[in-house]
Each structure stands twice: as structure tokens, then as C-alpha cells.
Structure 1
């Protein structure tokens, strides 16, 4: 998936986020965007090369809430909250995996890393098992699937 296609899919969520912010004081998209220079700094500090689609998303939308997924921001946002580098320095210091989002169960979604380069695909990493599972072919597909869930999708999940 390309960024323009993703942006078209995200338009309803972005509009709804503005409405929810005005009506209730909270946003469905609470992104903390970064610059290309900030991304390069994080990559240098972590000694990894992040996927291009991930970087484009972080510049355009940023980390934080994006619909139904919470993405680790690249830059620290608040004292005591995890940003990408801090979380990965603490939990994945060997750099064979870069966690980008919590699942909520102690597990994470993220990128496998080979020779300092993150794979384009997003994987599910279990906190207590060694078998990672592929989650999406690329980052934008991952956010589209997990962040842009429709009301119909949520209704089906509740019935299951």
C-alpha cells in the first residue's frame, strides 16, 4: 500500500477525530509527528534503518493514537511514557526486532531486523514465546488493518 492510498482510507477517521475532539475533548488521532532529521537521529541512536513507509507515516501523522492502534512516538512526549528508542533500548536491546506498537498483553508489533535494517513487514512478537508471526506486508497495511477498523468490524469482533 502506498501513502496516498492509505490517506484516502484514513480520511473518515481523520474527520471523525476532529469532530470527537470538538465534542468530547479527545481525539481519535493524537499523532506526534517528527521531521526527517529527527528520524535520522533516532535511526543513528538505535543503529537501525527504519522502513520508508514507516518514516513517511511518522512525518505525516506521527506516533500516538491512530484510531484503534497506539504507536510508539519517535520522540519523547511525556515523562514516564515510552517512545520508540526508550522502549526498544529497554526491551529489545539486541536489535533483532524493533517494537513499534504495544498489543496490550505484553506482546508487541514491530519489524524484524537483519544487519541493522528493519524489514518492511510488520510482525507480532509474543512476550513469552519464541515464535513470531507475520501481521502485515508493510507498515501502512498494518495501520490500515489495526487502526482503521470500521464499526462493522468491531461489531463482528464482539459477536465472535
Structure 2
């Protein structure tokens, strides 16, 4: 069941871009000085999304797709996001492979690991991912909402200091 979200109004990409500006600057400086970025930028194309949605049998939220097209998966500040498509030489998890292994029934689409065996992601109803991001407990059935939409999730989890 999806609950009404009382906290914030839905965030739009221009508002998120303004909030992410300092992280983009820090990321560029860290990459120049230390050789690693705070934003990995493993972006996805519309074709990538079409393929993954077809494989998974779900429709992903538009704000998630806009973010992943612009910023991409991997590390984004303080949060790790599953890339839509894995780099062939890395062999790590991507959105489809991780969800195929952990959530094959597609009642939930994990988008980020919590680090404890739990995941953040979207509840799914009738093949449509909800906008809200939820915390999925691996050992309990009481999932809980954490953000009204994907942009709020990344702003609160990825941009925190």
C-alpha cells in the first residue's frame, strides 16, 4: 500500500540541479586532485531504459530516468545507485541483474543498496513503479517510505555531508 506523503512537495530536476551544484564542483576538484570523482556518472540512454523496462516488465518513474540520464549510477555523493547498465569490464550489479537475483517477482525494484542487506527502491503495482522511494527490510515485512520521489531521495541521501 502506498501512503500519502506529507513531508515535501515533489522536487523537480532544476531544483535538484541547484542543490547538486556544490557536489558537482567538489567531484570535479576531487577527480583533478585525487583521481576519483564523487559522482561516478554511469549514465543511461533512452534505449537502455527501454531495454531494462522490457526485461523487467516494469515502467520506471520519469524522475528516476531523468536523473540517471543526467547524473548516472554508481556513487553520487553519499549514496550508491545501481547503474541501469553495468560496464562490461566491471561485471558488477546493474539494475536488472540485481533485481533479477533479489526481487524476481517485481513487487519491488531496488535502486540502491543500504549496506546491510536492505535496499531502497520503488514499490511496483501492475507493472508501474511508484514515485515514492521506500526502504525494504531484507528480514522483515514492514517496508517504509523514505522520500516522496527519487529526486528527494537522492537529495536527502546523496547530498548529505
Provide the TM-score with structure 2 as the length reference. Answer: 0.91
1:16 aligns with 26
CA displacement 1:17-57 (0-9 Å, x = unmatched): 00001111111000100111111111011000000000000
Name the CA distance, whole Å, in 1 between partners of 2:99 and 2:152: 22
Name the CA distance, whole Å, in 2 between partners of 1:62 and 1:25: 19
**Which residue, 128, 132, 149 being the options, matches 1:117?**
128
Unpaired runs of at least 5, structure 1: 151-160
Name the CA distance, whole Å, in 1 between partners of 2:90 and 2:32: 26
- Does structure 1 residue 142 correspond to structure 2 residue 153? yes
**Which residue, 105, 109, 113 being the options, matches 1:102?**
113
Greater fraction of residues in helix = 1
1:74 aligns with 84
Runs of 4+ in 1 over 6 A off after TM superposition: none
2:101 aligns with 90
RMSD (Å) for aligned C-alpha atoms: 0.7
Name the CA distance, whole Å, in 2 between partners of 1:26 and 1:5: 26
Name the CA distance, whole Å, in 1 between partners of 2:90 and 2:65: 24
- Does structure 1 residue 3 correspond to structure 2 residue 13? yes
Unpaired runs of at least 5, structure 2: 1-10
Moved more, 114-123 or 79-88: 79-88
SS in 2 for 1:80: coil
